Amino acid sequence: MNRRRCATAALTVVCALTVLAGPAQAAYAAPAPPVAPPPPVAATPPPASATSGRSLEEVRREIDALYRQAASATDAYNLADERARKQSAEIVRLSQAIVDGQARIADLRNRAGAAARAQYRNGGIPDEAQLVLADDPQLFLNGVGRLQQGQKATRDLLAELAGRQADLEAYTKEAGAHWTRLEANRLQQARTKKQVETKIAAAKALESRLETEERERLLRLEQAEQARAQTAWLGSGVLDRAGREAGPQGSRAIAYARAQLGKPYVWGAEGPGSFDCSGLTSQAWAAAGTDIPRTSQEQWRLLPRIDVEDMRPGDLIIYHADASHVGLYIGDGSIIHAPRPGRNVTVAGAGSMAILGVVRPGG
């Protein structure tokens, strides 16, 4: 029962992250010649345009900045989530080690108790004394060997018991430290979740105040900016040395990414129905047989870096100074990526955003 209770307590990991006006009655003026007609009920004013004196390009930049900030917060959320998962798994491992250690200590204590009970049955006379009292020389010599073996077994038993107790204390202390870090990561998750939702809500509210024609113009401005950046990047000759053939794993990663085209961007998602940017790249390379970090910032920090001029299909291109976006290079100057909320997984120009660098997960 103690073993079951310990396992249940140690294995319990909880995480809870949880996350919308009345008609006015028209008044008539007091009776007086001439009688005033009732004032008309004012119609609800249309929402103010998001531009409010600003150019549509300025609005586009503000929306882009909000989504960029949301992307950075998403990376922080994903990192905290990944760490929380690892801490939970480690707590489970340590819990099992604690249970096993307690069982082993109980067994060693039973064996020590059995030895003590055996001595009691011999009248409480120690084995050494019984040996001295032996009359038969051969029995004496045989007893010496058995006594030495018994003493060694006793010392080994006591040493193992002490070692197991020390291990159990270390496991318990380590599990407590992991639990503390787990709770810290969950608090970080809650904070960054709120940041992400706030930034995305602000961007969507700004877009929603645009007229239909303004939204269409906004999309054209966005596409024109991306095309301008891509043309300049290609014109720099950056692809003159770039590889055109993917390695075996790179080819499998690209095949996985192509199969996800058209699926929606959802922050924090890693498939199968939706993705964020690093969720797509990490799952693509997992499908290719290589586990890589979950976030674009960790991918940039931990994976081998490649000169942009030396990249090849299957490599990951990291974007923006804070490494908050990533795409999978598929060759011919193009990437597959999950752009942002409101967009789907798509093919885009690799140079259409500010490139920070390139990393290569595997072959």
The residues carrying an active-site annotation are: 277, 325, 337
CA distance 251 to 19: 39
- Residue 65: what residue type? A
